[in-house]
Amino acid sequence: MQTMQWPRPSDEANTELMMTDYPDEDEPAGFAGLALRPELLDALSNLGYEEPTPIQRESIPPLLEGHDLLGQAATGTGKTAAFALPLLNSLTLGTGDAGPGALVLVPTRELAEQVSQAVHRYGRGLGVRVLPVYGGQPIGRPLHALKRGVDVVVGTPGRVLDHLGRGTIDLSGVRTVVLDEADEMLDMGFAEDIEAILDQTPTERQTVLFSATMPPRIDAIARQHLREPVRIQMGRPALPPGELPKVRQSVYFVARTHKAAALGRVLDVEAPTAAIVFCRTREEVDELTEVLNGRGYRAEALHGGLSQDQRDRVMGRLRSGTTELLVATDVAARGLDIEQLTHVVNYNVPSAPEAYVHRIGRVGRAGREGSAITLAEPREQRMLTAIERLTRQPIAIENVPSVSDLRTRRLELTRASIEEKVADDDLDRFRGILARLTEERDLETVALAAIKMLHEASGGDGDDVEIPSVARGNRDKNRDQGRRWDDSRKDDHRGGPVRGRPARAGSARLFLGIGKRNGLRPQDMVGAIAGESGLSARDIGAIQIADRYTLVEVPEPAADMVIAALRRATIRGRKATVRRERPMH
Ligand code: AMP
């Protein structure tokens, strides 16, 4: 990755500028080389972060020097820490000022919560006061904190503007403004709000803009509000064919809360001989190892916190087959060459496409078959597309095994173990029992009871429940068709989804018992759905807001998940009825 000045859009030759030198196998690259305050380095070490991600390695130095920055980075790249660490590093703390020194604007309530938790975790040692503000929370709730003083405000544009209008937030002391997921904010109709907010911040501020895509509208904002920004962009040319091993690649889309269960289930069905599961942090490694051991696997943790001696012992157990799963961070796995490896599992989408290639290069060597399995949240779709572009290979989307898949598999295991026993030559000693059992029953019933007993003894049907499937984002598809989300939004004003008319193919229409009379605006609806369910704004179809109710189209596979998420949520401060639209008669 290189840092470069933002090229003009007409500068064709420069548009494929790029990132990123993924560190060599044996080149350790920790956080210590970045000029961060010791409190921040301590926080990172406590969180189990072992090295900066590529976007962090490139963004942090210029941000610490005070440059504006325009970064193209999707969720999953580590972009939050990329802007949060420099912002925290340069905060002036303890001056008693009430107004924030930094403002982060984000598109959704979920992201406001997430980013403010991240800023809090990184800045804990500095005693930083962070406040999330977003639509849906009572407007008065943050007032107390605002009066006492906050250092960082993380908010959605609409709500930040409300506070500015009421005079409850003062941005005159802001030194850094971050626009996070700027393309999503524009898609949600926040352009004017952002302009109005930036107008109320000092002109000499530092401005940072992160966006997953760089459409011309983002360029326009950058030209107007950023000063000679350093530009950081993902996007290496594709690898030449033949540089990738032949590996079966698949991805499972699951919500974060179901990840560990989904992985257990995938492993049950895949039954790897030896697998390495990559996690982001030491904590994640430890937690997942525990979960997998609880599920009956022989899993071992491998991370930078272990001594060389401990690492050697873990490796020895994997090589000898005593252990079947290694749960590791990238740093700990660097330089390992494991002959018998059959599966590489990405518990998260890696922070850079190059990391993915490094990881999966560990299987499928020397003509052997290998599998690469990735668990992804719907939001991480962009990173997967970037990986597919780099490798020029598709990653197949699979469904998490259902309860019935698992049952079939377990019955299959029971059958296989009986088949194995049939070959034993010491079965005769059980003939006496069989004879007594069949005095009054037929042989088949006795055999069935014995199979049942064996099946139950080896875990039986288990008490698994279905893991809800979530939709893969379809923003790229929309882009390819030249259809923009806000075009469909314009349709809404021409009537949108009329009640009773069937929803668009592949979509389901939801009914919400909240409407104009409750002050509901399209951006509230998009914010609530994106924030609560993790769908991308572009996945949400036409919205029609009537006086007392709202109809909204979402991808059919995600419909039940969105309904469940919205039922838990409050929208414009209230709980609304949420269900599928009923056909009209
Ligand atoms: P983000 O792209 O900012 O949403 O970050 C994605 C995830 O990566 C979050 O769960 C972070 O906690 C985690 N993360 C960020 N930076 C690092 C790092 N250097 N090492 C390990 N995990 C990280």
Q: Which atom of ligand 1 is nearest to the CA of 50?
A: 20
pLDDT of residue 5: 39
The stretch 280-292 carries a mean pLDDT of: 93
Quick one: pLDDT at residue 167? 93
Which helix (H) or strand (E) is 164 found in, with range? Answer: helix 157-166
Mean pLDDT over 3-12 rounds to 37
Average confidence (pLDDT) over 20-26: 45
pLDDT value at 463 more than 60: yes
Burial class from Cβ neighbours inside 10 Å (0-12, 13-18, 19+) for residue 69 reads buried
Distance from the alpha carbon of residue 77 to the mean position of ligand 1, in angstroms:
7
Listed in sequence order, the residues at least 6 apart from 487 whose beta carbon sits closer than 8 Å to its beta carbon are none
Q: Comparing 46-60, 117-131, 498-512, 556-570, which segment has the lowest mean pLDDT?
A: 498-512
Ligand 1 atom nearest 114 alpha carbon? 4
- Supply the pLDDT for residue 438: 94
What is the pLDDT, as a whole number, of residue 476?
Answer: 39
Pocket flag, ligand 1, residue 281 (CB < 6 Å): yes
What SS3 class is residue 104?
Answer: strand
Same fold, 12-234 and 491-580: no
Q: What percent of the chain is predicted at pLDDT more than 90?
A: 43
The 10s digit of each residue's pLDDT in 325-378 is: 999 998 888 767 777 789 999 999 999 998 898 899 888 766 667 899 999 998
Summary mean pLDDT of the chain: 83
pLDDT of 19 > 50? The answer is no
Instruction: Decide: 52 in ligand 1 pocket, CB within 6 A.
Output: yes
Q: Is ligand 1 within 6 A of the CB of residue 75?
A: yes
pLDDT at 241 over 80: no
pLDDT at 10 over 50: no
Q: Whose CA is nearest to atom 6 of ligand 1?
A: 76
The verdict on the CB of residue 79 being under 6 Å from ligand 1 is: yes
For ligand 1, mutation pick of 280, 284, 347, 348 (most atoms within 8 Å of CB) = 280
Q: How many CB atoms lie within 10 A of CB 548?
A: 11
- Specify the higher pLDDT residue, 432 or 13: 432
Residue 310 burial (CB count, 10 A): 13
Q: What band does 112 get if pLDDT is binned at 50, 70 and 90?
A: very high
In angstroms, what is the span from residue 280 Cα to ligand 1's centroid?
A: 7
Does any ligand 1 atom lie closer than 6 A to the CB of residue 72? no
| C-alpha 76 to ligand 1 mean position (Å) | 6
Strands 247-253 and 396-398: parallel
Gap between the Cα atoms of 345 and 372, Å rounded: 6
How high is the pLDDT of residue 462?
Answer: 67
Between the CA of 52 and the centroid of ligand 1 the distance, in Å, is 9
Q: May I ask the CATH architecture of the domain 12-234?
A: 3-Layer(aba) Sandwich (3.40)
E-assigned strand segments in 271-315? 275-278, 299-302
- Whether 234 is in the pocket of ligand 1, judged by its Cβ within 6 Å, is no
Q: Ligand 1 within 6 A of 48 CB?
A: no
What is the per-residue pLDDT across 538-575, written as a single tens digit (0 to 9) for each?
Answer: 778 888 888 888 999 988 878 888 888 888 888 887 88
- pLDDT band, very low/low/confident/very high, at 2 (cuts 50, 70, 90): very low
Q: Lowest mean pLDDT: which of 114-118, 253-257, 367-371, 470-474?
A: 470-474
Q: Going by DSSP bridges, is the β-strand pair 543-545/550-555 parallel, antiparallel, or unpaired?
A: antiparallel
Nearest to 99 by CA among 41, 43, 149, 32: 149
Q: If pLDDT is split at 50, 70 and 90, which confidence band does 522 have?
A: confident
In the reported structure, the alpha carbon of residue 433 is separated from the centroid of ligand 1 by a whole-number distance in angstroms of 61
Question: What's residue 275's pLDDT?
Answer: 93
pLDDT band at 480 (very low <50, low <70, confident <90, very high): very low
Per-residue pLDDT band for 273 (boundaries 50, 70, 90) equals: confident
pLDDT mean over 381-386? 89
User: What are the boundaries of each domain within the chain?
Assistant: 12-234, 247-401, 408-456, 491-580
E strands of 165-298, at which residues?
176-179, 206-211, 230-233, 247-253, 275-278
User: Rounded to the nearest whole angstrom, what is the distance from the C-alpha of residue 387 to the centroid of ligand 1?
Assistant: 18
Residue 332: the pLDDT is 85
Decide: 81 in ligand 1 pocket, CB within 6 A. yes
For position 572, what pLDDT does the model report? Answer: 81
Whole-number pLDDT of residue 477: 36
Ligand 1 closest atom vs CA 79: 3
Fold for the domain defined by 247-401:
Rossmann fold (3.40.50)
**Position 198 pLDDT exceeds 90:** yes
Question: Binning pLDDT at 50, 70 and 90, where does residue 404 land?
Answer: confident
Q: What's the one-letter identity of residue 344?
A: V
What's the pLDDT score for residue 234? 67
If you average pLDDT over residues 104-133, what whole number do you get?
94
Q: How high is the pLDDT of residue 28?
A: 47
pLDDT per residue as tens digits for the range 135-171:
878 887 888 888 889 999 999 999 999 999 999 999 9
Token code pair at residue 473: 């984002």
The segment with the largest mean pLDDT, out of 245-249, 428-432, 557-561, is: 428-432
Using CA positions, which residue lies closest to atom 5 of ligand 1?
Answer: 78
Q: Where are the beta strands (DSSP E) in 82-171?
A: 102-105, 130-133, 152-155
Residue of 546, 490, 488, 486 lying closest to 520 (CA atoms): 546
280 lines ligand 1 (CB under 6 A): yes
Q: Atom 14 in ligand 1: which residue has the minimum CA distance? A: 78
At 214, the pLDDT band (50, 70, 90 cuts) reads confident
Query: What's the number of CA atoms in the CB half-sphere (13 Å) around residue 332?
Result: 29
- 534: tokens are 């993790």
**For atom 13 of ligand 1, which residue has the closest CA?**
78
pLDDT in the model for residue 15: 29
Which of 241-250, 463-472, 573-582 has the weakest average pLDDT?
A: 463-472
Mean pLDDT for 428-455 is 93
With beta carbons less than 8 A apart as the criterion, state whether 558 and 569 touch.
no
The top-level CATH class assigned to 491-580 is alpha beta
222 Cα: distance to centroid of ligand 1 (angstroms): 25
Band of residue 215 on the pLDDT scale cut at 50, 70, 90: confident
User: Is the model more confident about 27 or about 105?
Assistant: 105
Q: What is the model's pLDDT at position 556?
A: 82
What pLDDT band is residue 46 in, cutting at 50, 70 and 90?
Answer: very high
> Rounded mean pLDDT of 503-514?
84
Q: How far is the CA of 203 from the centre of ligand 1 (A)?
A: 31
